[in-house]
Amino acid sequence: MALPTSVGPFSAVCLGRSRPTQPAWARTPPRTMPPAPVPAQSQPTRAQIGSPQHSPAKLSAGGAGWGGACSTGYMEITVAVGQLDPTEDAARNWEVGFTLARRAAEAGAEVLVLPEQAMLVQHPGDPQRFADLAAAAWAWWPQALRDAAGELSLGIVAGGFAPPGSGGDGRAPGSSAADAPGDARPFNVLVAVDPAGELEYCQAKTKLYDAFDFRESGMVRPGAGDSRPVQLAGVRFGLVNCYELRFPELARRLVGLGAEALCISAAWVRGPAKEDHWVTLARARAIENSAYVLAAGTRAEDTIGRSMVIDPGGVVIAGLADEPQGIAVAQLDTARLRAVRERTRSAPEPPAVS
């Protein structure tokens, strides 16, 4: 199956079907991608992909508690975070990402969070070349994500780069109303797709990483507007994009709007004490909001990996170290969530359900 060049209607795969075999388009580079002015790209073999999978961590259920009703009552779902080593070869990155998604589905996961830059690595350099790479990949990547989610009955959150004017309304979601003419910089976006393969949400990053001697705004443009929770597999997730982790008010707002878990997709850059920052900030967002945190990080040359799942009490219940590729699996238990919120009373009250 060749990858389509636009996001169109999707016929959902029934949840009750057995896991399908890997489709042809996930085994080979897309054949319908428009050419981009970039060097020839190599493809990895299957033997080069994958790392030992972490065993699921089971949580004990707590009693009913404070903080608003769960989306569909008390429930448990299996979730996973994926870690990969993206390159400038988007087809190769997709090969790895699909392999992680298939492994997550085989482990029983209903939701998988992949990192920022899962579509394409972002290095400082030539902004126009990066814009060309992003435009070529975005032509097929959102539909590939939808197809994979439907094939595997798996909700997926993943990071990509959307060219200006590529949203359903003719613009990238979350973009500013006034674009500079001739500015080809893409938006850094998180895309959420439900287990039926339907595109649920696409949010542009609002806080760009212009810090620690790095200038992300030279390569991508900021989004505008506030994000909202998205429902996947019956649970409400708030999306946080890398550097936005350092702004607690963003996560707090999402939980106030009803988020029960936070998906943090990142390419966390190495540096003195930066691993401590990543772990401390992610755990803080879980503790202060009494929310699950699914933190997925890239493991490239200059990024740390360290993907993890954190429970509402701030305990890391599953995680990865610095392996280039892998998944970590855990149970998300809304009874546990309610019990922690009842005890701590620190989470903002979500809006009443009418």
* Active-site residue, from 110, 242, 260, 263: 242
Cβ–Cβ < 8 Å for 138, 160: yes
Residue 256's Cβ-count burial label (10 Å; 0-12, 13-18, 19+) is middle
Catalytic residue among 116, 216, 244, 260: 116
Token pair belonging to 159: 């990071």
Query: What DSSP letter does each residue of 37-87 carry, written as one string?
Result: SS-------GGGS--PPPPPBPPPP----SS---BTBS-EEEEEEEE----
Query: Does residue 213 come out as left (phi exceeding 0), alpha (psi in the -120 to 50 range) or beta?
Result: left
242 is catalytic: yes
Q: Which of 88, 110, 205, 244 is catalytic?
A: 205
**What's the gap between Cα 29 and its chain centre?**
22
Amino acid at the residue 34: P
CA gap 291, 156 in Å, rounded: 19
Cα radius of gyration rounded to whole Å, the chain: 19
Tell me whether residue 263 is exposed, middle or buried, using C-beta atoms within 10 angstroms of its C-beta: 0 to 12, 13 to 18, 19 or more.
buried
**Active-site residue flag, 202:** no
State both tokens at 324.
Answer: 């280039």
Residue 300 DSSP class? S
Q: Which residues are catalytic?
A: 116, 205, 242
